[in-house]
Each structure stands twice: as structure tokens, then as C-alpha cells.
């Protein structure tokens, strides 16, 4: 549910695979999700601190025919069901199902939503009261950071380790 445009809030945009959960090669079922150490705690910490938490993710598995869009949406609903066990939540998920070399023809295109293009970020910024100056994107690929730069949001590269510790170190620099 998208809130009415209210007071601007700091926001943390997360890439999904490789940041919140391990990138195990097109994970699309709850049984395939292995949470990154500290990721659940990081989301709760941000929720408790008043940040919006939004996920911005390329999902080329749809374009390659490995799974469909309802499967992506079901997995994202499961993410929030799982996070609720710890009193945490992700405010919204945004994903791109396209790929220029897609096996599924209707998804074979160069679009404005596939990172490094900023389309998903622009959509989220239009729909949520994001304070751009106090927001960051945490991603594990250069394409994530390029999308953040395209909309003047600080991008930080998460390589590995405990996401909660990483968030505490990097988020304090923008608040």
C-alpha cells in the first residue's frame, strides 16, 4: 500500500539478491532463500529508525522463463511474512522482469527499469515520500550504484559480511 505524499522520509533502497539474501542463481521460492547475515536485523533497525525500506531488483529469471511474475510477487509477499516474525517489513518491492537477451519474447527489450537504468528508482520516488538527500541505495553490483547515481542518491557497495553492521556504519552517514 502506497501512503499519501506526506513528510519526506529518509529511505534505504536495497538490491535483493546478494544483499538481503544470497544470490544462489535465480532464487524464486522461499526454500531457496538464504538470508544474508544481519539482513533481518538491518531491516528492523531501519524500520524502527523511521526509514522507508524499498527493494529495487532486476529479476531476469522472468525474462529467461525460469519463473513468472506471480512467482516473484508471491516470494516478495513471503519476504514480508517472514520479516513480520521479527517485527520488520519492507515497504515496497520494485522489480524489472526484462532483459535484452530474454528467452521469453515479450520480456526481450531494453527498458528504463532494468538497472543500471533508473526507472525503478524513479517509480519508487514518485510513489513514496523519499527524502533524496537522506537516502541511500545498497547494492552488490556496479549496475545498482549506477542507478543510484542517475537519481543523485548515494550508492554504497555491499560486498559481503554482516548487513546489519554495514547498514549501521553507512546509514549514519546520511541521516
Catalytic residues: 15, 17
Q: What angle do CA 30, 35, 39 make, to 5 degrees?
A: 130
Selection from 169, 140, 165, 168 nearest residue 155 by Cα: 140
Is 135 strand, coil or helix? coil
**Cβ neighbours of residue 33 closer than 8 Å, sequence gap 6 or more:** 21, 27, 75, 78, 79
Residue for cell digits 549506477? 146
How far, in Å, CA of 163 to CA of 171, rounded? 11
Amino acid at each position: 500500500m502506497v501512503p499519501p505524499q506526506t513528510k519526506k522520509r529518509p529511505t534505504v533502497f536495497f538490491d535483493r539478491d546478494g544483499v538481503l539474501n544470497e544470490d544462489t542463481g535465480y532464487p524464486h521460492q522461499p526454500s531457496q532463500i538464504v538470508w544474508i547475515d544481519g539482513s533481518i536485523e538491518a531491516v528492523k533497525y531501519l524500520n524502527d529508525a523511521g526509514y522507508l525500506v524499498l527493494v529495487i531488483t532486476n529479476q531476469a529469471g522472468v525474462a529467461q522463463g525460469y519463473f513468472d511474475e506471480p512467482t516473484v510477487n508471491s516470494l516478495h509477499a513471503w519476504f514480508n511474512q517472514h520479516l513480520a516474525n521479527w517485527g520488520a517489513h519492507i515497504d515496497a518491492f520494485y522489480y524489472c522482469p526484462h532483459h535484452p537477451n530474454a528467452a521469453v519474447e515479450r520480456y526481450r527489450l531494453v527498458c528504463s527499469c532494468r538497472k543500471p537504468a533508473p526507472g525503478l528508482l524513479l517509480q519508487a520516488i514518485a510513489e513514496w515520500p523519499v527524502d533524496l538527500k537522506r537516502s541511500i541505495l545498497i547494492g552488490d553490483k556496479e549496475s545498482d550504484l549506477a542507478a543510484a547515481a542517475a537519481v543523485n542518491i548515494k550508492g554504497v557497495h555491499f560486498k559481503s559480511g554482516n548487513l546489519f553492521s554495514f547498514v549501521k556504519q553507512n546509514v549514519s552517514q546520511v541521516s
